[in-house]
Structure 1
Amino acid sequence: MSMLSALRTSQHSCISRTSFSSILMQRASRCYSTTTEDAPPPFLQKIKADLKTAMRAKDTPRLSVLRAILSANLNASKTASPIQTDVQLVALIRRIQKSAQDAVEDAKTAGRDDLVNKEMEQVRIMDEYIAGSGVQTLGEAELKTLAQDAIEASKAAGTATKAIVGDVMKRLAGALEGKDVDRKALAAMIKELVGQ
């Protein structure tokens, strides 16, 4: 009985198949259109290309570093704040580098020189990528002068002593936009300069 009813409905729907398929194609083309704002950062594309080169050259330390970066990027893409700029990618590499430096310290205390050498090589490779990223990294001296100027401006504006650190960070936000800066270290430097 169900086969018979299916045949009857298919005979009646033959007339409107062409219009249905054209509507379906229009909707499908709209659903699959892409925008340019979702393009990955250029530095990420360089890392992916270097991964292929490292695979061909069988460069194991570089390969493990690049895989760690791409894995962390993939994990970040599944969160509410995915990596969208080169600055964010450099900050991600710095976090990976920090964990590698912690592993070096742990290996030194355990007396494992083989692991120390391996982790130090990975830290060196990450330094290469940070330097070659094209993102401007501010040194401690530059940050100190920027922070001192912002502290003076904040004090001149009459900001309360307890609120100076937050006010200075807000004042520096524009100057630090698009640059590689460790904001926690900057906040600690500002607290030290203010005397808190």
Structure 2
Amino acid sequence: MSLRLGATRLVGATPSRHVFQHTPLQLSAVATSHLCAFQRRYSSEEVAPAPPLLAKLKGDLKAAMKAKDKARLVVLRSVLAATLNASKTAQPIDTDAKLVALLRKTARTSQDAASEFREAGRTDLAEKEQEQIQILEAYAQEGAGQSASSEEVTAAVEAIISELKAASTSVRAGDVIKRLLLPGGPLEGKDFNKAEMAKIVKNLCA
């Protein structure tokens, strides 16, 4: 009886008595609850949804595996591996526009490979590359947004140059291109030739 009274007084005299009144399991449950709440907040605030085209590629990968479509499997695995690698860098593939650019870049690489195979007399390998190119271009076409004509690109460039001139005496081509490609910029979501856009900027800034 005296021991229990002594223990009661000790707990009552301890400022952190509420901690001692929780069992290890209860403390673990509380910690887990806080961690889960943090993870839910993090996932909802920090993780952006995947681009629609990327979700389609992942779904098509499963279908290609079932159908044993070798050419499509090679294409999808290569593109998805590239997007995974990019997600670990400061420039992730987080929009359909970026994914379309990746698809077209991959198609150009395959086109160069096909040309080399033809020169080496390996028409069989060149045909395989050509089949993959068709798949890449089909996905790129599907994911491309509304096309921007040369006139639309020129008008966007002229508008930005006017804005920069109003704010500064000097206008640099690099600043114009940066403004054009910013999220929410005049060309966002539109399909256009970047080389042609850069040429228009250079001519108008000269």
The offset of 1:158, in angstroms, is 6.0
1:128 corresponds in structure 2 to 138
The offset of 1:67, in angstroms, is 0.8
Supply the distance in 1 between the matched residues of 2:23 and 2:51 (Cα, whole angstroms).
46
Supply the distance in 2 between the matched residues of 1:157 and 1:18 (Cα, whole angstroms).
63
Supply the distance in 1 between the matched residues of 2:205 and 2:60 (Cα, whole angstroms).
46
1:183 corresponds in structure 2 to 194
Which deviates the most, 122-131 or 37-46? 37-46
2:5 corresponds in structure 1 to none
Q: Percent identity?
A: 39
- Does the 8 Å contact 2:165/2:171 carry over to 1? no
Q: Is the alpha carbon distance of 1:137 and 1:126 closer, same or farther for their aligned partners in structure 2, counting shifts above 3 Å?
A: farther
The correspondence for 2:76, drawn from 59, 66, 71, is 66
SS at match of 1:35: helix
- Does the 8 Å contact 1:147/1:168 carry over to 2? no
Task: Output aligned runs, 1:30-179, within 5 Å.
Answer: 30-33=37-40, 34-35=43-44, 37-133=47-143, 135-138=145-148, 142=149, 144-150=150-156, 154=161, 163=171, 165-166=173-174, 168-169=176-177, 172-173=180-181, 174-179=185-190
The offset of 1:94, in angstroms, is 1.5
Supply the distance in 1 between the matched residues of 2:70 and 2:84 (Cα, whole angstroms).
21
1:22 corresponds in structure 2 to 29
Q: Is the alpha carbon distance of 1:169 and 1:14 closer, same or farther for their aligned partners in structure 2, counting shifts above 3 Å?
A: closer
Supply the distance in 2 between the matched residues of 1:14 and 1:182 (Cα, whole angstroms).
68
- Does the 8 Å contact 1:137/1:179 carry over to 2? yes
Q: Is the alpha carbon distance of 1:185 and 1:114 closer, same or farther for their aligned partners in structure 2, counting shifts above 3 Å?
A: farther
Q: Is the alpha carbon distance of 1:24 and 1:119 closer, same or farther for their aligned partners in structure 2, counting shifts above 3 Å?
A: same
List gaps (5 residues or longer) in structure 2.
Answer: 1-19
Which deviates the most, 167-176 or 108-117? 167-176
Task: Output aligned runs, 1:1-16, within 5 Å.
Answer: 16=23
Supply the distance in 2 between the matched residues of 1:103 and 1:189 (Cα, whole angstroms).
31
Residues 171-193 of structure 1 show CA distances to partners (whole Å, capped at 9, x for unaligned) of: 644221122334344213443x4
The offset of 1:28, in angstroms, is 2.4
List gaps (5 residues or longer) in structure 1.
Answer: 1-12
The offset of 1:165, in angstroms, is 3.1
Give the alignment's Cα RMSD to 1 decimal: 3.1
Q: Which has the larger radius of gyration?
A: 2
- Does the 8 Å contact 2:110/2:133 carry over to 1? yes
Specify the code of the residue in structure 1 equivalent to 2:39. Answer: Y
TM-score normalised per structure 2? 0.71
Specify the code of the residue in structure 2 equivalent to 1:54. Answer: A
Supply the distance in 1 between the matched residues of 2:99 and 2:145 (Cα, whole angstroms).
10
Which deviates the most, 64-73 or 105-114? 105-114
The offset of 1:31, in angstroms, is 3.5
